[in-house]
Structure 1
Amino acid sequence: MESVERILFRQLFDPESSTYTYLIADVYIQEAILVDPVLEQVDRDLQTLEELGVTLRYCLETHIHADHITGTDQLRKLTRCRSIVPQNPHTICADRQIQDGEILRLGDIQIQAIATPGHTDSHFAYLINDDRVLTGDSLLIRSCGRTDFQNGDAGKLYDSITQRLFTLPDTTLVYPGHDYWGHAISTIGEEKCWNPRFVDSPGDPATRKSRAAFIELMANLDLPIPHKMVEAVPANELCGKTL
């Protein structure tokens, strides 16, 4: 279990893309990890690192994003941090690929990689010190990521969430990669009970949607394509390097 005095955990927000970036630092060794940084927020992130008195060691991505350009390339140039992406990504720019089940350690910080494909074909969640999970664009608060581009697959997303994330303890804190309704944090237990993408009667986890019903639901969302997708995906395949 983490020590409050030793481990810093910050949830940072980009209002344009509704993206959460997470800063996790061990103050004893004065080193930090940023998860899903956003290019337009690099100055904010650098200022936060300076104010906390920590050096950026890693930028860690949950997946190749379509709605914003990652800040990893700029942060790597400015701080000499290392870029880490999920295994089998559509990119060759990263310093390292993390594997399903692998544990990344930085001082007292322990990050376990959990493969959660479905939103994209290479997507990971990260379990932090066994008490909170960064779910990226897979499980959102009272929702989930879309599956209609970047080799998305609704059936795989259903399996990822129900078989991998929903099997974590109910008390596990859920920190998503996005939120569009003003939510910041949930728990696995809450999402199993109240997420309408996965239960027919919110409040009753016994009414879990079938895999087939979930696939049908996702096929009929009719969502607009992210307006930055054309520029974001190619840039993120280069770790945020814009051409």
Structure 2
Amino acid sequence: MLIFRQLFDPTSSTYTYLLGSAGEALLIDPVYEQERRDLALLRELGLRLVATLDTHVHADHVTAAWRLKQRSGSAILLSAAAGAENADRLLRQGDKVSFGGRYLEVRATPGHTNGCLSYVLDDHSMAFTGDALLIRGCGRTDFQQGSAAQLYRSVREQILSLPPACLLYPGHDYRGLTVTSVAEELRYNPRLGGDASEADFSGYMNHLGLPHPKQMAIAVPANLRCGRPEQEQAVPGEPDWAPLELSFGGIWEISPATLAERLSPAAGLQLLDVREPEEFEDALGHLPGARLLPLGELGARIVELDASRPIVTICRSGARSAQATVLLRKAGLERVANLRGGMLRWRAEGLPVEGGRD
């Protein structure tokens, strides 16, 4: 079964695509600032990242390819025509990129940049067009070796020649549109569809007069290094008080085993149980040293907490305590984590409790 997810970065309006099969995955156009989100989703879906693929050397965001390689061992793949450093495999027309028994076919679609690639799923049911073809539009052709004539030929020959029902997923969209199809773009794309000729398209593109992307001076040099920093640096904002994992939902979590190792007073943790009083004393019991502060009272009593000490929130299953972490962070308390799985998982792993019954 194919696993497919379309992810969005609101700052650059970039789409990142996850494709998975048989435990292996690819990421297309990962964004530097979204590395944690992408790794969290891979972990939750039980997928191993095989490779990252960029459709081109982006001018409006920095790729996460290098960071993901350091964290997961994934290979970095992009066009041989891009002229980038640090890639593990340089791709050309007709190459195949395999994952879990499936593959993407590489199609060269230059014109927006020299190194633009589109990736077509093996059964031709979907294609990932980067900035070569957007929904009812296309990438600009006035910088990074752009060529209107070349882009016209690339799109018409390599993308719009696919089956009419093939779904097309762009690298960006600034209006919130998510997907189109070959049939739609052939009929409705005002630049490349219908009876538009190469001369029509070139005339249109050569008179756009658009300003250059704001991040171009930063993004292009960084992407020519595949996102590798000029100087090695720590991941910003990484929690330093315990090994935590960020969930795809954006919640920092601590595992029961990790928390159990840090239950001594010397660790300085505040254990905040947000269940109701009767639950605190019921069959599940509670963690040694935990403080009861029901979720409904938390907002009014945050001032009672010690802002200098990390907080672990706890409930029956981890749902209410996840909401508690959101409330605490909104109140300015940054060193907060949710006990993954709550008391149910804590008890299932045979960890110590006060009260409770077998």
- Normalised by the shorter chain, which TM-score bucket? over 0.9
Mapping 1:114-125, distance limit 5 Å: 114-125=107-118
Code of the aligned partner of 2:113: T
Structure 2 partner of 1:165:
159
Tell me which of 172, 179, 185 is aligned to 2:173.
179
Pick the aligned partner of 1:212 from 172, 187, 199. Answer: 199
Give the whole-Å Cα distance in 2 for the aligned partners of 1:198 and 1:95. 34
Partner of 2:75: 82
- Name which of structure 1's ranges 86-95 and 227-236 shifts more when overlaid on structure 2: 86-95
Which residue of the other structure, out of 120, 126, 135, is the alignment partner of 1:141? 135
Poorly superposed stretches of 4+, deviation over 6 Å: none
Q: Residues 90-110 of structure 1: CA distance to partner in whole angstroms, max 9, x if unpaired?
A: 212100011201122212321
Q: Structure 1: any 5+ residue segments left out of the alignment?
A: 1-5, 200-204
Report which of the two structures shows the higher radius of gyration computed on alpha carbons. Answer: 2
Query: When the two structures are aligned, how many residues end up with a matched partner?
Result: 229
| Equivalent position to 1:192, from 174, 186, 194 | 186
Give me the whole-angstrom Cα distance separating, in 1, the residues matched to 2:102 and 2:139: 27
SS in 1 for 2:129: strand
CA distance in 2, matches of 1:13, 1:196: 25
- Asked if the contact 1:7–1:108 (Cα under 8 Å) also holds between the matched residues in 2, the reply is no
TM-fit CA distance, 1:44: 0.5
How far residue 209 of structure 1 moved from its aligned partner, in angstroms, is 1.2
TM-fit CA distance, 1:198: 2.0
Cα distance in 2 for partners of 1:131, 1:196 equals 24
Partner of 2:209: 222
The SS at the match of 1:164 is helix
- Cα distance, 1:88 vs. partner? 2.0
Mapped partners of 1:138, 1:119: distance in 2? 6
Are 1:63 and 2:50 an aligned pair? no
2:11 to 16, 19, 24: 16
Once the two structures are superposed, residues 48-105 of structure 1 have per-residue CA deviations (whole angstroms, 9 ceiling, x without a partner) of: 0111011111011111110000001110111111000112222121000112011222
Q: Distance in 2 between matches of 1:178 and 1:53?
A: 27
Matched, 1:132 2:117: no
CA contact (8 A) 1:64 1:90 kept: no
Following superposition, the deviation at residue 169 of structure 1 comes to 0.7
SS in 1 for 2:17: strand
Equivalent of 2:147 in 125, 149, 153: 153
Displacement of 1:159 in angstroms is 0.4
Q: Is the 8 A contact 1:118 1:152 kept in 2?
A: yes
Contact (CA 8 Å) 1:120, 1:150: kept in 2 or not?
A: yes
Mapping for residues 33-72 of structure 1, pairs under 5 Å: 33-72=26-65
- Asked if the contact 2:14/2:171 (under 8 Å) is kept, the reply is yes
Aligned residue for 1:114, secondary structure, equals: strand
Preserved contact between residue 166 and residue 182 of structure 2 (Cα < 8 Å) = yes
Q: Does the 8 Å contact 1:82/1:95 carry over to 2?
A: yes
Contact 2:25 2:100 in 1 (8 A): no
Q: What residue number does 1:202 align with?
A: none
Amino acid at match of 1:231: I
Cα RMSD between the aligned structures?
A: 0.9
